[in-house]
Amino acid sequence: MKKTKTDEELNNVSNEAALVNEAATDDAKKKKKKKYTVEELLNNDDIELVDEYGRRRKVKVKVHESKLTKRENRMGYFFVFPYIIGVIAFLFYPMVRTFWYMFCRVRIANNAIVTEWNNFENFGKAVSEYVTFKTDITALISKMISYVPLIVVFALIISMFLNLNIKGKGIFRTIFFIPVIVTSGPVMQDLLNSSNSISAVDISIITNTLNSMLPPFLADMLSTVFGNIITILWYTGVQILIFLAAIQKIDTSLYEAAKIDGGSNWECFWKITLPTIKPMILLNAVYTTIFLCQDTNNNWIIGRITYVVNNGVNGYGQGSVIAWILNVVVLIFVGIVFLLFKEKRDAYAKQIAKNKKFEKKAKKLVKKQAKKTAKNAVKFEKALQKEAKLKAKGKDLRGGYEDV
């Protein structure tokens, strides 16, 4: 009989162990499972949303996407994929290689590029042998300062005229966009070699007037603008289209409400049109800056890079140095343009943001205090349970003091 009792006890113990293991595996599965469907959250009460300290558990909800959404996502990835490959292959990788070439002596041996580390030797040679480097950089900066505002303002004015109800708007839009298609290397070179100034106006009179009224730096810069006004206006095709698309998206009810309140066209432009298309002004300013820096007719540094790479002893290294200096200058100018035209929040929006930050801090402090309180409550409850167990065992809890 003792044997049978022990067998039954062993079976009971094994069953209890199996139940404990099943419960442990279920708990482990619940812990491993990070995402739940909406139906599981609504119908299953076993999902613990709060831990033992009263904190909310992070539960991710799995949402079933529709077939249309999945198809749109696939098409989006399909159209973006070539651009990502192009950026990695033709932009990111060459930039990394040229950065490495700046600190190396580069030579071609057996149809392979061999590099030898030479510290900063390329920097000194590139700047010392490029005698007109400072002059070309100054000329490029002055052109960007003068050309970028002129092109952006002219594109904005033309786009507003093209948005009016006039006959032949499509013809005028085509005329202003034709230079974007026609302006190739030979065509633009012929235009630059010819007299591209305003033939109906004497440029010398304008130049003398500017020299007498303005400092030499500003006078020379504006004289160059007037001398190349036709070439500059040829660069406004893409900007006109961007501004025209932005203006056409403005809700006409805003203008109607302003007209009812007695607003003039000038006030509507400053209060409605300009604030609405301000992001497009930033886009066109950045686009114009990069376009002018990439144009070999306006940027002689690109020609110098080509010459050094093809004819220099260490052409790849010195060319990389000049290219990276140009890149830094362009990035600084683009950063300045971004700071000038970025959207600024008004005082009311800033106060709302400050209030939200204060509320977040207050909520964090409240949550932190609640967590501490919950932890202290758990510790106190455990201490009471421990004390009760010790009393049940008959142990003295008075710190060793007994009644005599």
Residue 202 confidence (pLDDT) above 70: no
Say what the pLDDT of residue 211 is.
76
Say what the pLDDT of residue 401 is.
45
Residue pLDDT, tens place only, 213-230: 777 767 776 777 776 677
Residue pLDDT, tens place only, 304-317: 888 888 876 678 88
Residue pLDDT, tens place only, 228-244: 677 777 788 888 889 98
Rounded to whole angstroms, the Cα distance separating 401 from 342 reads 76
Identify the bridge partners of residue 60 per DSSP, sorted by sequence position.
35
Residue 169 confidence (pLDDT) above 90: no
Q: Is the pTM of this model over 0.95?
A: no
Rounded to whole angstroms, the Cα distance separating 221 from 142 reads 7
Highest-confidence range of 47-51, 154-158, 368-372, by mean pLDDT? Answer: 154-158
- Give the lowest-confidence range in 270-274, 324-328, 386-390: 386-390
Residue pLDDT, tens place only, 59-88: 666 667 778 888 888 999 999 999 899 988
Say what the pLDDT of residue 391 is.
76
Token pair in block for residue 214:
């303005």
Q: What percent of the chain has pLDDT over 70?
A: 73
Say what the pLDDT of residue 130 is.
83
Contact predicate 121/105, CB 8 Å: yes
Q: Reduce the DSSP state of residue 400 to 3 states and report it.
A: coil
Degrees (nearest 5) of the Cα angle 300, 306, 309?
140
Question: How large is the average pLDDT for residues 109-117?
Answer: 82
Question: How large is the average pLDDT for residues 289-310?
Answer: 83
Rounded to whole angstroms, the Cα distance separating 179 from 184 reads 9
For 119-142, b/e burial (b = at least 16 CB within 10 A) is eebbbebbeeebeebeebbebbee
Label residue 196 by pLDDT band (50, 70, 90).
very low
Question: How large is the average pLDDT for residues 12-36?
Answer: 55
Given the structure tokens 């909406």, which residue do they identify? 38
Rounded to whole angstroms, the Cα distance separating 324 from 34 reads 47
Say what the pLDDT of residue 12 is.
59
Say what the pLDDT of residue 105 is.
86
Question: How large is the average pLDDT for residues 153-158?
Answer: 88
Residue 37 confidence (pLDDT) above 50: yes
Label residue 188 by pLDDT band (50, 70, 90).
low
Residue 182 confidence (pLDDT) above 90: no
Q: Which residue has the higher pLDDT, 241 or 57?
A: 241
Residue 402 confidence (pLDDT) above 60: no
- Give the lowest-confidence range in 148-152, 274-278, 327-331, 388-392: 388-392
Mean residue pLDDT of the chain comes to 77
Q: What percent of the chain has pLDDT over 90?
A: 6
Residue pLDDT, tens place only, 119-135: 888 888 888 888 888 88
Residue 2 confidence (pLDDT) above 70: no
Label residue 170 by pLDDT band (50, 70, 90).
confident
Q: Which residue has the higher pLDDT, 160 or 56?
A: 160
Q: Reduce the DSSP state of residue 11 to 3 states and report it.
A: helix
Label residue 9 by pLDDT band (50, 70, 90).
low
